[in-house]
Amino acid sequence: MDVLRPTLVRIGGRVYRKNIIHERVQQQQEEEDFYTGPNDCADEPCDAFVVEETEKGFQCRVEVPSPLYKYIIGKKGETKKRLETETRTSISIPKPGVEGEIVITGQQRGSVISARTRIDVLLDSFRKKQPFTHFLSFALNQPVIQEKFLQFKEEVLEKCSQDHGVSSSLFQNPAKLHLTLGTLVLLNEQEIQRACDLLQQCKEDFVDQITGGKPLSVEVTGVEYMNDDPAMMDVLYAKVHMKDGSDKLQMIADQLVERFVASGLMLREWDRVKLHATVMNTLFRKDPSGAEERSSAVTGKSSFKERESFNGRNILKLFENFSFGEAQLDAVLLSQRYSSDASGYYGTAGRLLLH
């Protein structure tokens, strides 16, 4: 193997050099194995980020939302100290609440790369534990749909209120009826802007081509449930499909999620988006304001343990083909959790117009 052109190995979307390891004659050199030189980055990604050479050595800048600083600092600064000691670097973190960059400096390039890689792993781990802040949605709160939904609610309570667990607290807020495409954790204005920019890029790349620059005409008809036993339901949803029988809505949903997952802004929940409009959800019993936008896939296990299921067998029989009406979907919205606009729908941080 050419020493100047080592074999490159791709792992998890990153590129690693496969370096030749020579036996060391001098015993004292063994401890310095990882830090042999500024260009030695064995076992670390070499091209995933920029490391700058400075007068005093090397440095790397990391854009990190301020809510995540605490995970790099650790209790009483222990995590930061350990990272600095083990990688022989200095890590500078902005003050709490101040958006900025974490700066890693060190005398060896490999040391800086090692610290950056470990910080990335830490951030990735803790980001996944953050509750989502935004979600991509199609609004289904058109007046006709809301009116039919309220009719559905009234008839269910009239005919099925004696069934176990069925009560008015289970029903969705009609002003917030929607389709959820996927959830996002956006922790500062820069990340929100990235998501907005990506929406516009998706419009140019494939959405306009699929829609032909026109809104999507859909029908909201029939109900279905999420879990296996209809006598122990947690979520009942209305089914949505294109009036012309095409799969345009599914194509847009799947490709948007694919693009957002690839960008790192969204975690994959399932192979393809399950298009559904939640009409009843046992999470609403305790949290009517914040549970609406949860898809079943992002609901934590602890939430399920706390839920009181309802017997939906009669609802299925009586309302299997209930028509909630037709709607024109004219935008994909970047909706903000725990928020409302003037119409009662979620606050909108960005939008992709279909027309």
Q: What is the pLDDT of residue 48?
A: 66
Q: What is the pLDDT of residue 241?
A: 96
Residue finishing a domain among 94, 129, 164: 129
264 assigned to some structural domain: yes
294 assigned to some structural domain: no
CA distance 230 to 224: 9
**90 and 151 housed in the same domain:** no
Query: What three-state secondary structure class fits 269?
Result: coil
**74 and 196 housed in the same domain:** no
CA distance 251 to 185: 23
Which positions of the chain have pLDDT values less than 70? 1-48, 287-305
296 assigned to some structural domain: no
Reading phi first (left if > 0) and then psi (alpha if -120 to 50, else beta), residue 326 is in beta
**229 and 139 housed in the same domain:** yes
User: Which domain range does residue 84 map to?
Assistant: 51-129
**330 and 190 housed in the same domain:** yes
* Interval 193-227: pLDDT, tens: 999 999 999 999 999 999 999 999 999 999 999 88
- The answer to whether the beta carbons of residues 186 and 67 sit under 8 Å apart is no
**Pairing between β-strand 57-64 and β-strand 100-106 as defined by DSSP bridges:** antiparallel
* Interval 168-188: pLDDT, tens: 999 999 999 999 999 999 999
CA distance 141 to 345: 8
Radius of gyration of the chain (CA): 26
Q: What is the pLDDT of residue 16?
A: 58
**CATH number reported for the structural domain that contains residue 211 in this entry:** 3.90.1140.10
**182 and 319 housed in the same domain:** yes
Q: What is the pLDDT of residue 281?
A: 95
**316 and 167 housed in the same domain:** yes
The count of domains in the chain is: 2
Neighbours of 176 (CB within 10 A): 22
CA distance 94 to 185: 21
Task: Name the E strands within the chain.
Answer: 7-11, 14-18, 52-54, 57-64, 89-92, 100-106, 134-139, 178-184, 216-225, 235-242, 276-281, 323-329, 331-336, 347-353
Q: What is the pLDDT of residue 307?
A: 84
**141 and 124 housed in the same domain:** no
Q: Map 41-79 to HEC letters.
A: CCCCECCCCCCEEECCEEEEEEEECHHHHHHHHCHHHHH
Q: What is the pLDDT of residue 270?
A: 80
Q: Is the pTM of this model over 0.85?
A: no
Residue finishing a domain among 76, 97, 129: 129
**204 and 349 housed in the same domain:** yes
**116 and 215 housed in the same domain:** no
Q: What is the pLDDT of residue 303?
A: 45
